[in-house]
Amino acid sequence: MTQADLEAKAKQAVLGYQKADAEAVAKQAIAEGADLVGVIENGFTAGIQEVGELFAQKKLFLPHIMAAAAAMTAGIDILKPELGGKTAGESKGKFVIATIEGDIHSIGKDIVAIMLGVAGFEVLNLGRDIPCDDIVKACIDNKADIVGSSALMTSTMVNQKTLETKLKAAGIRGSIITNVGGAPVSQDWADQIGADVYSENANDCVKKILEAVGD
């Protein structure tokens, strides 16, 4: 089966909410020596992104999101050990990630968390609507190297600035890389609040964070 066929099957498994199909195509990709990152990015991730767009358009609902995410996770869980095999036990850094206080969106942030894990980071996904103080505490408790916050609404973006302030007050801002993302977030906003990295999407985040940690 061609790479394109495998990616199409992976995407369809997510769009069809089929965990068994996702697992099957993941195993097939491994057996055929396919580009596993491509299967994740152009297959599983592309599928969940399309589901997320349909959800935003109110064409799908929360049960669909959960079922699609379960299928995506089932497939990626099979591929992830294969991708991490060369660096087993070697972490590229500890990454704390959360959707910022006041914001209940999580799909994009969850995709980023998965892709960071695939890239070799130890990821602590705190969830959504997380108070800034809790994010700071998680960074301290886990000796995080990077902290990422997602904001999907302009009304909650201000809390990304608050997080920067609280990290400074806690005395750890100088030793941690800060990453911001989300639909209304921009490079200008990141520059304005003093964040180290702005990422447009999951792939962009992984690329820029790897650069930031010098990998």
What does the pLDDT look like over 41-58, one tens digit per residue? 899 988 987 887 787 788
pLDDT in tens, 120-138: 799 999 999 999 999 999 9
pTM of the model as a whole: 0.68
* Alpha-carbon gap, residue 68 to 72, rounded angstroms: 6
pLDDT at 89 over 50: no
> What angle do helix axes 107-118 and 202-212 make, rounded to 10 degrees?
50
Q: CA 72 → CA 31, 96, 154, distances in Å? A: 19, 22, 29
In order of their start, the domains of the chain are: 3-87 (1.10.1240.10), 94-212 (3.40.50.280)
176 CA to centre of own chain: 18
- Output the CA torsion sign for 135, 136, 137, 138: positive
pLDDT at 119 over 90: no
Amino acid letter, residue 178: T
Q: Which of 26-30, 80-84, 129-133, 189-193 has the lowest mean pLDDT?
A: 80-84
| pLDDT (0 to 100) of residue 87 | 37
